[in-house]
Amino acid sequence: LALKASCPSDKIVWDSPAKSKTEIDYVIQHAPGAIVNANSIAELDMYPADHGLRLGLRVLLMSATGAPQVFDVSSSDSKFGEPITSRQEIIECFVRRPDLVGLHLHAGSDIGNIAQNASRVSAVYDLALEINSVRVAAQLPALNYLDIGGGAGVYLDGRPSQGLEEYAESITAKCDVLSSPLQIITEFGRFTYGHCGWLWSRIAALRSNTRDHYLAILHVGADALVREIYQPHPQPHSYTVLDSHFNLDPATDKIYDLAGPLCFAGDVIAREISLPQLSLSHSIIVCNAASNSLALWSRHCSRRMPAVIHYRHQQSCVLAKPAETLEDIITFWS
Ligand X SMILES: Cc1ncc(COP(=O)(O)O)c(C=O)c1O
Binding site for ligand X (CB under 6 A): 15, 106, 109-110, 149-152, 187-191
Rounded to a whole number of angstroms, the minimum distance from the CB of residue 324 to ligand X is 25
33 touches 102 (CB < 8 A): no
166 vs 173: CA distance, rounded Å? 10
Rounded to a whole number of angstroms, the minimum distance from the CB of residue 333 to ligand X is 28
Rounded to a whole number of angstroms, the minimum distance from the CB of residue 164 to ligand X is 11
250 vs 275: CA distance, rounded Å? 7
Residue whose CB is less far from ligand X, 187 or 324:
187
193 touches 174 (CB < 8 A): no
Residue whose CB is less far from ligand X, 227 or 254:
227
306 vs 201: CA distance, rounded Å? 10
Residue whose CB is less far from ligand X, 149 or 260:
149
7 vs 148: CA distance, rounded Å? 21
227 vs 224: CA distance, rounded Å? 9
Contacts of 196 (CB under 8 A, 6+ apart): 290
Rounded to a whole number of angstroms, the minimum distance from the CB of residue 204 to ligand X is 31
Rounded to a whole number of angstroms, the minimum distance from the CB of residue 168 to ligand X is 16
Nearest CA to 94 out of 48, 38, 13, 24 is that of 38
Residue whose CB is less far from ligand X, 161 or 277:
161
Residue whose CB is less far from ligand X, 43 or 110:
110
